[in-house]
Structure 1
Amino acid sequence: MTSGDEDYVYDEATGEWLSPGEAAQKAGPAGVEVRDSVGNLLADGDSVALIKDLTVKGANQTLKRGTVIKAIRLTGDAQEIDCRHPGIKGLVLRAEFVRKV
């Protein structure tokens, strides 16, 4: 649906047409609060440290306790964060195993 210059988005959950501004407020990881193991609120770009040794499936590698992961990204899921580590592609960590640095 279009009105003037704006494209409206159909929200299947409510059955309503929303303006782009309203749709952006309802969607995305902005509405999800991701908290680390001690309850600190995490945001995109934060650095976190592991609180226990984690075996990475498919990489035959173990990330040791205290390893710092820089520049995390939120996935929209309250329990998962996306991050990068040398030698491991597509690393997703559970928020319960990290703490904010």
Structure 2
Amino acid sequence: MRDNVAWFKSSGVCKVSVRDSNGNELSAGDSVSVIKDLKVKGTSVTLKRGTVIKNIRLTDDEESVECNTDKVKGLVLKTCFLKKA
């Protein structure tokens, strides 16, 4: 059973389509902007609306992306709060 799952994932058949709040498809390395002020848990930093985040990385989850900002490294943001820049 595990061999079948590994083959299915490696074959590219189950390609994840990550989309922003407007429905535009996102890919690794894209730049996005924040559409709403977001408080970052564990810090006193707030990402303001319009903040541009460059060079995003896609995750296995189609509803989140990994990114870095000037103030916070290693953020995972939901795509419903992002739009393609």
TM-score by length of 1: 0.74
CA contact (8 A) 2:65 2:77 kept: yes
User: How large is the Cα RMSD of the aligned pairs?
Assistant: 2.1
Q: 1:61 aligns with which of 21, 34, 45?
A: 45
Deviations 1:21-79 (A, max 9, x none): x652248xx71101000000000000000000000001111000000000000001110
Q: 1:10 aligns with which of 3, 7, 11?
A: 3
Higher share in strand: 1
Structure 1 residue 81 and structure 2 residue 40: aligned?
no
- Cα distance between partner residues in 1 of 2:43 and 2:11: 37
CA contact (8 A) 2:30 2:84 kept: yes
> In percent, how many aligned pairs have the same letter?
49
The runs of 5 or more residues in structure 1 that have no matched partner are 1-8
Q: How many equivalent residue pairs?
A: 84
Larger relative contact order, structure 1 or 2 (CA cutoff 8 Å, min sep 6): 2
Structure-2 change in CA distance of 1:10 and 1:58 (3 Å): same
TM-score by length of 2: 0.87
